[in-house]
Amino acid sequence: MRYITDRKRAQGLGSGRSGTHHHWHMLVSSICLVILVPLFVFTFGSGLSRDYADVLAFFSRPFPAIVTGLMLIVGINHFMNETREAIEDYMHGVAERLATVAVSAFGYTLIAAGLFALVKLAL
């Protein structure tokens, strides 16, 4: 017995309406993270144990600043999407909505603070 209507099958939507889109989004961000995490670790690691002037000079170059910014954005968005999925699975009602808002606010605050610090270092 099929639980998907013909219209949903034609549009590519399953019974939950957004599972395929969420899976595809998580797959793309995971592939990006497979590339970004080693780049970030080696780039950020080479900038460690330097004095403040050297760190300013290091992050004023475009490659370390871009890699760090992309890692912040992609990594925290991946974290927020997966956390939102866990909240949708295990919480319901008002608690679900409040937790979703809290996770989104926390994630976007982390992104904003990280990018602000990076811009302060880079400029």
Task: Give the span between the Cα atoms of 83 and 8, in whole angstroms.
Answer: 26
The two tokens of residue 76 are 């925290």
Task: Give the span between the Cα atoms of 85 and 23, in whole angstroms.
Answer: 11
Alpha helices in 48-61 (DSSP H): 52-59
Task: Please give the chain's pLDDT, 123 residues, in tens.
Answer: 566 666 666 665 555 666 777 788 889 999 999 999 999 999 989 888 889 899 899 999 999 999 999 999 999 999 999 999 899 889 999 999 999 999 999 999 999 999 999 999 888
- Local structure of 105: helix, strand or coil: helix
Task: Give the span between the Cα atoms of 15 and 24, in whole angstroms.
Answer: 16
User: Which pLDDT score is estimated for 2?
Assistant: 64
Residue 121 CB: number of other CB atoms within 10 A?
A: 18
**C-alpha angle with apex 115: 32 to 30, nearest 5 degrees?**
15
Task: Give the span between the Cα atoms of 72 and 93, in whole angstroms.
Answer: 31
Angular region, 61: left φ>0, alpha ψ -120 to 50, beta rest: beta
**pTM as predicted:** 0.80
> Domains in the chain, start-ordered, CATH in brackets?
25-122 (1.20.1300)
